[in-house]
Amino acid sequence: MKFVRAVWKLLVGIKDALVLVFMLLFFGVLYVGLSNRPAPISDGVLDLKLSGNIVEQPERAQWADVAGTPQIRDYALHDVIAALDKSRDDARVKAVALDLDSFTGGGQSAMIDVAEAVRRVRASGKPVIAYATGYSDDSYQVAAAASEIWLNPLGAVLVAGPGGSNLYFKGLLDKLGVTANVYRVGTYKSAVEPFIRNDMSPEAKENYQALADVELSNWRDAVIRSRPKAKIDLFLKDMNAAVAAAGGDTAKAALDAGLVDKIADRMEFEAHLAKLGGEGDKDAPFKRIKYSAYVADTDQEASDAQIGVITVAGMIIDGKAGPGTAGSETIAKQIAAAVDDGVKAIVLRVDSPGGSVTASERIRQSLIAAKAKKIPVVVSMGNVAASGGYWVATPADFIYAEPSTITGSIGVFGVIPSFQGMLQKIGVGADGVKSTPLSGEPDILKGPSPEVSQLIQTSIESTYRRFLTIVAQSRHMSVADVDALAQGRVWDGGTARQNGLVDGFGGMSEAINKAADIAKIGKNRGIRYYLPPRSFEDELLSAFSGNPDEREDASEDAFAVLAGRPEQQLAAALGELQAIMSGPTIQARCMECAAALPAPRVKQDPGFAGLVRAWLGL
């Protein structure tokens, strides 16, 4: 009996402890939620202190955010644009401050949309002041649309242009004894090249060089449109000469070239904002309207929505997924929910390099089901809508893209790793029996058999023909004509419009207007954004992840914008390797397109060892 009583006391103690933990957790969440509640908005300067990426769909908060690990924040593109557009006619907003010291970009197409929104604020008569220590391609493209561009005395405008290096793993795989068994269709389908080469093929280099040249030209045109007197070509062709002419002073070189309007430190910048929006208190040098509070105060949806906006962002995968990843079942449910809600049109926003073929087809079929109920579909392409990202766009009645959008990549591939070389290196054998030619296949220990390799390649070719047929039917072209444009080749939005893969240039506003026209919706149209549902864990993480208006202190070294975040670049490269090697057998995906997307978060340990452990599955 003593033992039973002791066990009972232990169980009661555990129960009491759990109750106490949950009570503390509940009241902690309640306190954080109440303390983070946006205060009433008063007159002042709208402070767009962007300390991270602008993305189509921010990822969910992670426990690392709560633990204090430095993270890149994500800002939803439509939130940023909605806040800027609202500020135009909001008497409370006296000016807009673009604090870009910690801004890490968001892709050229997204920057075009943000710059246009900044330009609309400027046209309304309200000053927009940009400030940074170092301006990169993306941040300068946004800043160029502002009324004034301020630069730190120790700063610089550092325009690198599109381009850079990718990692190629053939030598590493050979040393490890890992064989990447590749099956593909498409002369330009270079997603598999990192596993079979140590450098870029001539075909891929030709494709991506042409793409980079077009992207640079589009960036240059956008900047000149905003600042026609700026000597941007001088910086693009020979920045060293411009800096030498300014006596080695990078900030003065930018001022002399007309790229910035004023050289001043942050204290002077904030004092200027106080003149525009009013003096602040001891905690703030100027009256500040916080971005998060202003977004929360911005009503972006109507109760009687007639147009549903559904986002396909990030990797397309089978099943369910949270924001920032396109789970086929999640998106299919969003499409069905929009139909059930009685929307009259759907706008599909695509910002994805593709992924699983079966997931892409699941989304496509959901759109076809919506169209069968007389609901028109208009696609708006963001930075990237390639491979599977183009596959899901094919049911559209009209496709919009920006000139800088990366699209196409109509091709299919599969990769199966096998470890016969590794086993040989360590002296381990592999043997067995078969009851049919496909028993135990694909054999990752001895390598796939010729029979299964032939079967997979046949499936790849069949899927490619299906892809061509889907595109041909959608674009009213012959399969042969689509094949000539396909072969895995990547196109910029301008060329894609010329060759018939997209219908027109424009962003979300043009897509919404087109959807309203097709559905014959009047001016009183409501818009609803369909998002993945938030779980209790999401709410908990959001409550504890800190103030979204506070940022990690930026480096005062202007050249940090060139280096970026090395751990993010390494994480992206190894993440691509891990995703392809462990993903579905047949994929419609554009690997190089990832360069046009914002830097991903580091979801593993930020150190090199943590990244390698994640790749090796340890």
CATH number of the domain to which 238 belongs: 3.90.226.10
**CA 219, CA 228: separation in Å to the nearest integer?**
13
Does 384 share its domain with 504? yes
According to the per-residue pLDDT averaged within each range, which of 333-342, 435-444, 518-527, 547-556 is highest? 333-342
pLDDT at 576 over 70: no
The lowest-confidence range among 118-122, 343-347, 419-423, 561-565 is: 561-565
* Domain presence at residue 312: yes
Side chain identity, residue 365: Q
**CA 173, CA 501: separation in Å to the nearest integer?**
37
Q: How confident is the model at residue 605 (pLDDT cuts 50, 70, 90)?
A: very low
Q: How confident is the model at residue 532 (pLDDT cuts 50, 70, 90)?
A: confident
Residue 428 CA: distances (Å) to CA of 137, 445, 512: 52, 10, 61
| pLDDT score of 80 | 95
Does 241 share its domain with 271? yes
| pLDDT score of 606 | 39
| pLDDT score of 110 | 92
Going 61 to 324 to 381 to 193, the CA torsion angle's sign is: positive
What is the set of active-site residues?
189, 387
Does 317 share its domain with 402? yes
CB 306 within 8 A of CB 519: yes
Q: Which residues contact residue 6 at a Cβ distance below 8 angstroms, ignoring those fewer than 6 apart?
A: none
| pLDDT score of 603 | 46
* Domain presence at residue 437: no
Residue range(s) defining the domain that contains residue 5: 1-35
3-state SS assignment for residue 448: coil
Mean pLDDT of 369-379: 97
DSSP secondary structure of 292-338: HHHHHT-----TT--EEEEEEES-EESS---TTSEEHHHHHHHHHHH
Q: How confident is the model at residue 539 (pLDDT cuts 50, 70, 90)?
A: low
Angle of helix 202-226 relative to helix 232-245, nearest 10 degrees, comes to: 80
Does 257 share its domain with 396? no
Does 157 share its domain with 221? yes
Q: How confident is the model at residue 104 (pLDDT cuts 50, 70, 90)?
A: confident
Residue 230 CA: distances (Å) to CA of 148, 220, 233, 257: 13, 11, 8, 6
Does 513 share its domain with 397? yes
pLDDT at 555 over 60: no
**CA 467, CA 493: separation in Å to the nearest integer?**
20
**CA 445, CA 262: separation in Å to the nearest integer?**
64
Does 355 share its domain with 383? yes
* Domain presence at residue 560: no
| pLDDT score of 191 | 73
pLDDT in tens, 40-73: 678 899 999 988 889 998 877 665 555 555 556 8
Q: Which residues contact residue 328 at a Cβ distance below 8 angstroms, ignoring those fewer than 6 apart?
A: 316, 317, 318, 319, 356, 358, 359, 360, 362, 363
Does 391 share its domain with 469? yes
| pLDDT score of 614 | 36
Does 221 share its domain with 155? yes
**Two structure tokens written together for 3:** 């033992």
**Mean pLDDT, the chain, as a whole number?**
83
Mean pLDDT of 122-150: 95
| pLDDT score of 611 | 38
* Domain presence at residue 183: no
Percent of residues, the chain, with pLDDT higher than 70 = 77
* Domain presence at residue 99: yes
CB 408 within 8 A of CB 390: yes
Does 273 share its domain with 315? no
* Domain presence at residue 339: yes
* Domain presence at residue 562: no
- Counting the structural domains of the chain, the total is 3
Side chain identity, residue 174: D
| pLDDT score of 99 | 94
According to the per-residue pLDDT averaged within each range, which of 35-39, 280-284, 565-569 is highest? 280-284
* Domain presence at residue 267: yes
Does 250 share its domain with 329? no
Q: What is the pTM of this model?
A: 0.84
pLDDT at 487 over 90: no
Does 220 share its domain with 345? no
Rg (CA), the chain: 26
pLDDT at 501 over 70: yes
pLDDT in tens, 23-44: 666 655 555 554 555 556 788 9
